[in-house]
């Protein structure tokens, strides 16, 4: 199984974030960055498929600034065979990113293109299906189970109140949701080996965005918290406030 995995470097989910002075970005100094957690599920699935079929390759691709090299190295340490850095500034337009990825993917041979279901920075939830549409590939998003047999993929995707079973002929696109697998930690051997694996870098220019960020602001403040009281005795007062003050009961 030859897989391409699209990964993104994002602020770690633990990170406390502040809006930068220009109001157009997150203050990145002092912030820890990691591989997007959903992309770890995608990468793990690609590694497992290669192991399962006993042959194939795993290529990790990212669009981003120089720092994204680090994220590719983590992917190589987990077990990817090669990394590709498409160096450019980011874009808030998911379609611009999708185009850059599609342009690169189309030059390669593959059976499967894997993504995370969502990047936890822009929370766009769009790049995977866009790439599929641009490349005229079948696609299943929010996938929690994937089986491949005889060139046909069967994916289970999460929907409200259940799952959809999606089938398609390879090659195709899958976007991973938590639950798909348990990503491995890179071994020391993996980390050492990663240093010798190929990491290709090229400068690219993204297409002009069709959406523009006007301002980035902290989330609207929540009302001042109130501690109603302690223990079960506080319950009548809580219920009273929920009815009379908040009017939600």
Partner 1 sequence: MADILAFAETRGGALRPVAGEVVATARKLADQMGGQVVAVVVGGPGSAEAASGLSRFGADRILVCEAESLSLYQPDAAVELLASVTESVAPGAILFPASAQGKDLAARVAARLDVALGSEATEIVLEDGNPVISRPMYGGKAYGRFRFLDSPALISIRPNVFPATVDPREAVVESLAPVDVSPRTRVVAVEAAERAALDVREAPVVVAGGRGLQDAGNWQLLEDLVDALGDEATLGASRAVVDAGWRPHSEQVGQTGKVVSPNLYFAVGISGAIQHLAGMRTAGVIVAVNKDAEAPIFGVANYGVVGDLFEVLPRLTEEIRAARRSGG
Ligand X SMILES: Nc1ncnc2c1ncn2[C@@H]1O[C@H](COP(=O)(O)O)[C@@H](O)[C@H]1O
Binding site for ligand FAD (CB under 6 A): 13, 37
How far apart CA 164 and CA 41 sit, in angstroms, is 19
How far apart CA 73 and CA 194 sit, in angstroms, is 6
Q: What is the CA radius of gyration of the chain?
A: 21
Q: Quick count: other Cβ atoms within 10 Å of Cβ 138? A: 16
Please report whether residue 85 would count as binding ligand X according to CB under 6 A: no
Query: Would you put residue 153 in left (φ > 0), alpha (ψ -120 to 50) or beta?
Result: beta
What torsion do the CA atoms of 13, 17, 20, 26 make, to the nearest 10 degrees?
Answer: 10
38's tokens: 């959903």
Please report whether residue 19 would count as binding partner 1 according to CB under 8 A: yes
CB of 86 to partner 1, least distance (A): 18
Measured from the CB atom, is 49 or 131 closer to partner 1?
131
User: Which region, judged by CB under 8 A, interacts with partner 1, from 1-9, 58-66, 78-86, 136-144?
Assistant: 136-144
Please report whether residue 111 would count as binding partner 1 according to CB under 8 A: no
Please report whether residue 126 would count as binding ligand X according to CB under 6 A: yes
User: Which region, judged by CB under 8 A, interacts with partner 1, from 57-65, 81-89, 191-199, 207-215?
Assistant: 207-215
Residue tagged 């902290």 (tokens): 218
Q: Judge whether 223 and 25 are in contact, CB under 8 Å.
A: no
Please report whether residue 81 would count as binding partner 1 according to CB under 8 A: no
Measured from the CB atom, is 134 or 193 closer to partner 1?
134
Please report whether residue 79 would count as binding ligand X according to CB under 6 A: no
User: Which region, judged by CB under 8 A, interacts with partner 1, from 43-51, 79-87, 124-132, 189-197?
Assistant: 124-132
Q: Judge whether 153 and 140 are in contact, CB under 8 Å.
A: yes
**Three-class SS of residue 149?**
strand
Please report whether residue 179 would count as binding partner 1 according to CB under 8 A: yes
Please give the size of the binding site for partner 1, defined by CB under 8 A.
87
Which residues of this chain interact with ligand X, rule CB under 6 A?
6-8, 36, 38-39, 42, 62-64, 94, 97, 101, 115-116, 118-119, 122-128
């Amino acid at each position: 199984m030859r897989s391409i995995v699209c990964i993104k470097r994002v602020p770690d989910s633990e990170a406390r974030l502040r809006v930068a002075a220009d109001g157009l970005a997150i203050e990145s100094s002092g912030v820890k960055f990691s591989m997007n957690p959903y992309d770890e599920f995608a990468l793990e699935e690609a590694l497992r498929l290669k192991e399962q079929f006993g042959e194939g390759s795993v290529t990790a691709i990212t669009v981003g600034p120089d720092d994204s090299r680090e994220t590719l190295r983590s992917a190589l340490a987990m077990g990817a065979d090669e990394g590709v850095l498409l160096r450019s500034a980011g874009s808030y337009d998911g379609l611009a990113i999708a185009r850059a990825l599609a342009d690169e993917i189309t030059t390669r041979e593959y059976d499967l293109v894997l993504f995370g279901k969502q990047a936890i920075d822009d929370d766009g939830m769009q790049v995977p299906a866009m790439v599929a549409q641009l490349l005229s590939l079948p696609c299943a998003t929010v996938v929690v189970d994937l089986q491949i047999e005889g060139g046909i993929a069967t994916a289970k995707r999460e929907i409200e109140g259940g799952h959809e079973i999606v089938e398609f002929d390879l090659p195709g696109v899958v976007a991973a949701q938590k639950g798909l697998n348990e990503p491995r930690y890179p071994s020391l051997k993996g980390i050492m080996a990663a240093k010798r694996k190929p990491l290709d870098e090229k400068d690219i220019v993204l297409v002009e965005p069709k959406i523009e960020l006007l301002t980035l602001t902290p989330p609207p403040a929540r009302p001042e918290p109130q501690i109603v009281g302690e223990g079960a005795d506080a319950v009548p007062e809580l219920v009273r406030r929920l009815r009379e003050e908040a009017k939600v009961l």
